[in-house]
């Protein structure tokens, strides 16, 4: 003790240096122990109750950097040393910077963990991760902006003029990157309105494929032929989007025609043949089948039915079975599908029809025949 009282270093008694060193060690050990205890308690409580907030808080606190604990311990020890006034007056600012940075790091870590958990929970679902990514980005940007402004205000900088200058600069930057901002807000619109989600099969103009990724600027679509198509979010929202993934069922309309030599009794039986064919195909709901019109070359029927599953391959299998059943039914009925035909009638110049037996000598008394089609 006598030696500590008798000696000085940098005009500070050795006893003060010793007290400061002991305070630094004790403060570092105490802060580390308190953090470890809090984390252990939160993790135990999370295991018992299943609360995700407790586990998230424990993970954030465990991410405390040892450097900040050491700096806090050094500041605590500095109060045992008689520092010059110009340095001692700055200690409060240093405390603000250290505590502010550590709180910002905690919040930043919390936002990262929250976003990662949300995105991993959405990986196996058909939900759009754009909102989660954008919210995380906005929160982190706001967090660090507030920290920097707080530090500047604490050290005496006039942040009012600084914020005003940032506003002017922000307008200039926004004009320069307006295309990027347009895609950014289009991404936000996709996340909020959800016209499609990851995993949906969509058709946009000439693009048809499955949505693989929705980013802040572009959306990636895996086409039917296998290549990845990258399109901007703005261009995507300007087009009409057909989302086939959200179909609950397919409405199918098709027509066919039978020959004109079919009798009325046969035509009356055709809708029933169609109905049986649709109902027997499976995964269908029959709506109607009607003799629609007298066509140019056929007696036309129109059929409407529903496939109760949106799968396209299933629809094609069902349509094939229906077509084969209708073909078989028409064969059993004694009629057939109509083929495109045209009737040609030959008449003489005087308007009299030409008989088939007259075609061999067309220099008859009525003059050469001419052709009239219908």
pLDDT of residue 273: 95
β-strands 207-214, 218-223 pairing: antiparallel
Q: Which residues, including other chains, have CB under 8 Å from residue 241's CB and lie 6 or more apart? A: 195, 196, 202, 203, 204
The pair phi, psi for residue 96, each rounded to 5°, is -60, -45
What 3-state class would DSSP assign to 284? strand
Length reported for the chain: 374
Strand partners, 334: none
Query: What element of type H or E holds 288?
Result: strand 284-294
Cα distance between residue 31 and residue 175, in whole Å: 49
Residue 357 carries which DSSP code? G
CA-nearest of 193, 295, 283, 293 to 236 is 193
- Rounded to whole angstroms, how far apart are CA atoms 128 and 356? 74
State the virtual CA torsion across 162, 163, 169, 170 in degrees, nearest 10: 160
Closest CA to 250 of 305, 302, 324: 305
Contact 240, 231 (CB under 8 A): no
Return the pLDDT at 168. 61
- CB neighbours of 215 closer than 8 A, spacing ≥ 6? 130, 187, 233
CA pair distance 66, 32, nearest whole angstrom: 8
**Three-class SS state of 17:** helix
What does the block give as tokens for 217? 């600027």
Say how far residue 24 (Cα) sits from the centre of its chain.
Answer: 52
Residue 132 phi, psi (nearest 5): -60, -45
pLDDT of residue 10: 46
Burial of 247 by CB count in 10 Å (0-12 exposed, 13-18 middle, 19+ buried)? middle
Tens place of pLDDT for every residue, the chain, 374 residues?
554 454 555 455 556 666 667 777 887 788 788 878 888 887 787 777 777 777 777 777 777 777 777 777 777 766 656 655 655 566 666 777 777 777 788 788 888 877 777 767 655 444 556 667 777 777 877 777 777 777 777 666 666 766 666 666 666 655 555 677 787 788 888 877 888 888 888 999 888 899 988 887 889 999 988 899 999 888 888 888 988 888 888 999 999 999 999 999 999 999 999 999 999 999 999 999 999 999 988 999 999 999 998 888 899 999 999 999 999 999 999 999 988 877 777 777 776 777 766 666 544 444 444 444 44
Which pair of structure tokens corresponds to residue 4?
Answer: 């500590």
Looking at beta carbons, which pairs linking 203-210 to residues 24 or more positions away fall under 8 Å?
A: 203/241, 203/242, 203/244, 204/231, 204/236, 204/239, 204/240, 204/241, 204/242, 205/239, 205/240, 207/231
pLDDT of residue 64: 78
Distance of CA 175 to the CA centre of its chain: 27
Angle (nearest 5°) at CA 84 between 82 and 89: 100
Lookup result for tokens 């946009």: 204
Whether this prediction's pTM lies above 0.85 is answered by no
Domains of the chain: 7-116+133-157 (no CATH), 158-246 (2.30.30.60), 250-333 (3.30.70.100)
- Tokens 């870590």 sit at which residue? 109
């Amino acid at each position: 003790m006598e030696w500590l009282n008798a000696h000085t270093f940098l005009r500070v008694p050795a006893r003060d240096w010793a007290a400061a060193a002991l305070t630094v060690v004790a403060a570092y050990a105490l802060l580390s122990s308190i953090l470890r205890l809090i984390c252990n308690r939160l993790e135990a409580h999370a295991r018992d109750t299943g609360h995700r907030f407790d586990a998230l808080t424990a993970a954030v606190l465990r991410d405390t950097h040892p450097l900040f604990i050491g700096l806090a311990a050094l500041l605590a020890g500095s109060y045992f040393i008689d520092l010059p006034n110009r340095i001692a007056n700055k200690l409060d600012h240093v405390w603000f910077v250290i505590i502010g940075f550590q709180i910002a790091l905690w919040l930043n870590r919390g936002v990262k963990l929250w976003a990662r958990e949300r995105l991993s929970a959405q990986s196996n679902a058909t939900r759009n991760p754009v909102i989660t990514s954008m919210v995380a980005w906005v929160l982190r940007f706001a967090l660090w902006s507030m920290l920097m402004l707080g530090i500047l205000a604490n050290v005496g900088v006039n942040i009012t003029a600084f914020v005003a200058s940032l506003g002017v600069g922000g307008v200039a930057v926004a004009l320069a990157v307006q295309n990027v901002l347009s895609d950014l807000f289009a991404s936000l619109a996709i996340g909020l309105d959800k016209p499609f989600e990851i995993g949906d099969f969509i058709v946009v103009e000439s693009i048809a494929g499955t949505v693989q990724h929705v980013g802040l600027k572009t959306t990636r679509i895996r086409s039917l032929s296998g290549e990845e198509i990258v399109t901007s979010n703005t261009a995507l929202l300007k087009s009409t989007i057909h989302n086939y993934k959200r179909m609950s069922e397919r409405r199918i309309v098709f027509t066919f025609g039978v020959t004109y030599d079919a009798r009325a009794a046969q035509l009356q039986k055709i809708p029933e043949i169609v109905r049986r064919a649709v109902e027997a195909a499976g995964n269908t709901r029959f709506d109607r089948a009607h003799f629609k019109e007298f066509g140019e070359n056929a007696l036309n029927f129109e059929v409407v039915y529903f496939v109760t599953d949106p799968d396209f391959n299933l629809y094609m299998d069902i349509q094939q079975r229906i077509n084969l059943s209708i073909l078989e039914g028409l064969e059993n009925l004694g009629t057939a599908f109509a083929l495109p035909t045209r009737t040609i009638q030959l008449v003489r110049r005087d308007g009299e029809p030409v008989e088939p037996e007259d075609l061999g000598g067309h220099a008859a008394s009525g003059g050469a025949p001419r052709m009239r089609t219908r």
